[in-house]
Structures are given as C-alpha cells and as structure tokens.
Amino acid sequence: MYQVEPTGGFENDPNVTDKKFPGNPTRSYRSSAPLRIVSEITEWTGLTPEQLQTWRERLSVLLSGERGEIIN
C-alpha cells in the first residue's frame, strides 16, 4: 500500500466513500491527474474476519439492487 499525493485536481470518489457504503471509514478520492508516491505503508492492520464478513454482506446487498450502480 502506498501513501500518495495528487499532482492535479482530485475529488471524493462516491463509489467508495461513506456516501455509497455507509460505515466505510476510508477516505477515497479519484483524479485524472497522475499521483506521486510519497511513501510505502508497510505496517497496516487489516479487517478482522468479522468486519470483513459484515463488509461482504453489505456489498452483496448493494450489488443485488439498484444501489450497485457506479456513480459518476
């Protein structure tokens, strides 16, 4: 995983943020400009098996209905 910084404009990515997946704590952005790698993240705590299962269940519900569409 890498820490990056934008070299141009960027915006919140509504397909990944809390707007699309309520309870998603990530800060996700998108840009048409290149990103500059600032550092590599070598220490990261992933989701517990229980958290991962909850996330998968929510994703399954979203993808099975109209809310599974890509927002632009």
- Per domain, the residue ranges of the chain are 2-68
Report the pLDDT value the prediction gives residue 63, as an integer from 0 to 100: 74
Report the pLDDT value the prediction gives residue 64, as an integer from 0 to 100: 77
DSSP 3-state of 31: coil
- The CATH code for residues 2-68 is 3.20.170.40
**pLDDT by residue, tens only, the chain of 72 residues:** 899 999 999 888 777 766 666 666 667 788 899 999 999 999 988 889 998 898 888 878 777 776 556 666
Cα–Cα distances in Å, from 7 out to 12, 31, 41, 69? 15, 9, 20, 29
Predicted TM-score of the model (pTM): 0.49
Scanning the structure block, which residue is given the tokens 């070299």?
7
